[in-house]
Amino acid sequence: MYRKQLALVGLALVLVLVGLASLACEPGRPDANPEVAGSPESDYPSADLTEVESDLSVTFTYSILNVDDVPAVATALEQFSVPETTTYALWTPRDLADATPFAGLLPNQLAFMLAWQDDTDAEAVLSERLSAIDGIRDFDTTTYESVYLSDELRVPTAEGFYVHRDEWYRPEDVARAVQLSKEAWTTFEPTFGVRITGLFRERPDAPRAGPAIVASLLRIVWYPSEAAWLDSRNFQRDPASQRRFAERRTIQVEGSGIALATNRAMPVPGPGN
């Protein structure tokens, strides 16, 4: 995806320096809360857990597109149709405050997600179809499987402030990371009025997959606004979720966690929706 070319360069050095067995919390990150990192698991309220595998037998492609004209290409993508696929979302650029600690899509970029019931040669088919659309200069695609979807193949929220965060874990830590996430969301969502859109794991057999020593998880979260995202950094309002998030950071590969902020283009009726 957009972050992989930069992240892969330093991965081997990072893993040697920090040691895979003792990944530490990153106190400098805006969502870090070191004071709760050691809270005992017995303090957690009960919550339903999730399995790492999703019940849906679909593959997701996530493509970052560099385009000449965002509105024109967005209109073309709203009519995009490939047999046995569903348009999951079209993510669009949005303005960010100067102090926002992560990037957004560039003004000439779109992010396009498709769900494939038949993923045979999905990336090749997608590449051919996207290349035929006027105004798309180039694109980069990553293939995922779903771990958690809030509303199956429908994004349940409209326009807003969507944060797409890419995190890496050792494969043996993925189940724990997912478990902690789902437990945290049971209080995080109602406390701050946000919605988890979905959690996705990059397929290790995908053409552009990362190194086998890490598993890449993409988490997409909807906030009503950038101000609402900032409010969710108020850890004292929901200490239960922050204990879980703090523990999850201890098993995250240091240096991962790059975030991208977008809006969402609302679909119009068409063959791809």
Among 92, 231, 207, 80, which residue's Cα sits nearest to residue 142? 207
At 155, the amino acid letter reads: V
Question: Could you tell me which residues come within 8 angstroms of residue 121 by beta carbon, excluding any fewer than 6 positions away?
Answer: none
Q: Is 156 helix (H, G, I), strand (E, B) or coil?
A: coil
Direct distance between the N- and C-terminal alpha carbons of the chain, in angstroms, rounded to an integer = 24
What is the distance, to the nearest Å, from the Cα of residue 44 to the centroid of all Cα atoms in its chain? 25
Instruction: State which CATH number among 3.30.70.100, 3.20.20.370, 3.30.230.30, 1.20.120.1200 fits the domain covering 4-36+44-264.
Output: 3.30.70.100
Eight-class DSSP state of 114: E
* Residue-range domain boundaries for the chain: 4-36+44-264
**Partners of 149 in the β-ladder:** 198
Can you give the pLDDT of all 273 residues of the chain as single tens digits?
544 443 443 444 334 333 333 333 333 333 433 223 233 333 333 334 333 445 567 899 999 999 999 999 999 998 898 988 999 999 999 999 888 888 899 999 999 999 999 888 899 999 999 999 999 999 999 999 999 999 999 999 999 999 999 999 999 999 999 999 999 999 999 999 999 999 999 987 766 555 567 899 999 999 999 999 999 999 899 999 999 999 999 999 998 999 999 999 986 544 444
Helix (H) or strand (E) holding 247: helix 239-251
Query: Cα dist. 9→66, 131, 211, 213 in Å?
Result: 23, 28, 11, 14
- Is-contact 91 262, C-beta < 8 A? yes
Eight-class DSSP state of 204: T
**Partners of 66 in the β-ladder:** 109, 138
pLDDT at 190: 97
List, in sequence order, the alpha helices (H) in 55-204. 70-78, 122-131, 174-192
Query: Cα dist. 133→124, 126, 140 in Å?
Result: 15, 11, 15
Helix (H) or strand (E) holding 167: strand 161-169
Rg of the chain over Cα atoms, rounded to whole angstroms, equals 18
pLDDT at 24: 35
Q: Is 232 helix (H, G, I), strand (E, B) or coil?
A: coil
Eight-class DSSP state of 214: -
- 64 CB burial (10 A radius; 0-12, 13-18, 19+): buried
